[in-house]
């Protein structure tokens, strides 16, 4: 069996990690970013890598406070310092942006992965704690993006700032989401009304932003792909032409590792 690498995506809400081998992402595991301690992370990594030959690791992080913990555990497991994703690495994508150091590492990984999987021009919508749109031009350059509040921020804000609205667990709703064509338009309870507002509202947001970007870029055939924990719940079955790609960020991390493979 060929060796694998460990890829880790540390996000604001959750951390995803998996094995990457020959372009495939397997064994995806998710933990709350701010909950797990060192023994829990060590145990999860041991389960992930049991029986595997591990060549190295790569980390993409937007939560600096968590970096030291993960880097130490990955180094202990692999015997070498993991690759940290940043704008100075080989990305197979040029960066046409005034301050490239301010681009989130996850957005760089998405740009690299989307360019490889879908070609250019392409737009990546990432449904995480924030909903981000990143644009890669026809000549393979990252040229900027759009950031909006994500689905969990909207539902949590409503619960935090009102006396009677409940907290909705969108992760649970995603498991039992009805097909988009059968989605209610009028809520018959407070919870239903909030869920409808989140799902239809974000579909409308994606549709409008995508339309305006196509007009601005003068690229009527530009591709749209979506990733992140809430992408399928928000968009699957809608009338928006989108490729939903759950492991896009992890694949991008693995590809950047391959492009910058450390010398053995």
> Three-class SS string for the chain?
CCCEEEEEEECCCEEEEEEEECCEEEEEEEEECCCCCHHHHHHHHHHHHCCCCEEEEEEEECCHHHHHHHHHHHHHHHCCCCEECCCCCCCCCEECCCCHHHCCHHHHHHHHHHHHHHCCCEEEEEECCEEEEEEECCCCEEEEEEEEECHHHHHHHHHHHCCCCCCCCHHHHHHCCCCHHHCCCCCCCHHHHHHHHHHHHHHHHHHHHHHHHHHHHCCCCCEEEEECCCHHHHHCCCCCCCEECCCHHHHHHHHHHHHCCCCC
How do residues 82-106 score in pLDDT, each as one tens digit? 999 999 999 999 999 999 999 999 9
pLDDT the model gives residue 252 = 98
Contact 141, 258 (CB under 8 A): no
107-111, 174-178, 179-183, 196-200: segment of lowest average pLDDT: 174-178
pLDDT at 225 over 90: yes
Tell me which of 3.30.420.40, 3.30.450.40, 2.60.40.180, 3.40.50.300 is the CATH number of domain 94-150+194-251: 3.30.420.40
pLDDT at 192 over 90: no
pLDDT the model gives residue 181 = 57
The active-site residue out of 9, 106, 245, 247 is 106
120-124, 149-153, 227-231: segment of lowest average pLDDT: 149-153
User: Residue 170: which pLDDT band, with cuts at 50, 70 and 90?
Assistant: low
Report the residue count for the chain: 264
- Give, in words, the CATH class of 4-84: alpha beta
Contact 101, 107 (CB under 8 A): no
Q: What is the pTM of this model?
A: 0.91
Contact 226, 244 (CB under 8 A): yes
pLDDT at 125 over 50: yes
pLDDT the model gives residue 176 = 54
* Distance between CA atoms of residues 188 and 84, nearest Å: 48
126-130, 143-147, 176-180, 210-214: segment of lowest average pLDDT: 176-180
Partner residues linked to 83 by β-bridges:
58
pLDDT the model gives residue 184 = 75
Q: What is the mean pLDDT of the chain?
A: 90
Contact 144, 97 (CB under 8 A): yes
Comparing 263 with 175, which gets the higher pLDDT?
263
C-alpha count within 13 angstroms, C-beta hemisphere, residue 250: 24
Catalytic residue list contains 106: yes
pLDDT at 132 over 70: yes
Mean pLDDT of 1-25: 93
Q: Do domains 4-84 and 94-150+194-251 have the same CATH topology?
A: yes
* Distance between CA atoms of residues 58 and 256, nearest Å: 9
Comparing 166 with 123, which gets the higher pLDDT?
123
Contact 106, 126 (CB under 8 A): yes
User: Among 100, 139, 106, which residue's Cα sits nearest to residue 124?
Assistant: 106
pLDDT the model gives residue 199 = 85
pLDDT the model gives residue 172 = 53
Cα dihedral 126→251→7→71 (10° resolution): -60
pLDDT at 226 over 60: yes
* Distance between CA atoms of residues 17 and 48, nearest Å: 9
C-alpha count within 13 angstroms, C-beta hemisphere, residue 77: 29
pLDDT the model gives residue 261 = 85
183-187, 189-193, 211-215: segment of lowest average pLDDT: 183-187
Partner residues linked to 147 by β-bridges:
132
pLDDT the model gives residue 208 = 95
User: Among 107, 117, 37, which residue's Cα sits nearest to residue 70?
Assistant: 37
Comparing 157 with 132, which gets the higher pLDDT?
132
* Distance between CA atoms of residues 158 and 113, nearest Å: 34
So where are the chain's domains? 4-84, 94-150+194-251
pLDDT at 175 over 50: no
């Amino acid at each position: 069996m060929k060796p694998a690498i460990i890829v880790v995506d540390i996000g604001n809400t959750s951390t995803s990690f998996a094995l990457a081998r020959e372009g495939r992402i397997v064994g995806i595991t998710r933990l709350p970013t701010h909950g797990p301690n060192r023994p829990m992370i060590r145990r999860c990594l041991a389960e992930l890598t049991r029986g595997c030959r591990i060549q190295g690791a790569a980390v993409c992080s937007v939560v600096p406070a968590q970096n030291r913990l993960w880097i130490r555990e990955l180094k202990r497991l692999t015997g070498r310092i993991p690759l940290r994703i940043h704008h100075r690495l080989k990305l197979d994508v040029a960066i046409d942006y005034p301050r490239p150091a301010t681009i989130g590492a996850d957005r760089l990984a998405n740009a690299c992965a989307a360019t490889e999987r879908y070609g250019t021009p392409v737009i990546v919508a990432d449904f995480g704690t924030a909903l981000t749109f990143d644009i890669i031009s026809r000549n393979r350059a990252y040229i900027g993006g759009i950031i909006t509040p994500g689905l969990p921020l909207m539902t949590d804000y409503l619960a935090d700032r009102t006396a009677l609205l409940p907290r909705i667990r969108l992760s649970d709703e995603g498991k039992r989401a009805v097909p988009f064509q059968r989605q209610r338009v009028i809520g018959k309870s407070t919870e239903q009304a909030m869920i409808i507002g989140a799902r239809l509202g974000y579909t409308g947001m994606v549709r409008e932003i995508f339309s305006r970007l196509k007009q601005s870029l003068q690229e009527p055939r530009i591709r749209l792909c979506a990733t992140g924990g809430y992408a399928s719940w928000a968009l699957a079955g809608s009338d928006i032409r989108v490729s939903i790609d759950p492991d896009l960020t992890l694949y991008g991390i693995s590809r950047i590792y391959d492009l910058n493979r450390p010398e053995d």
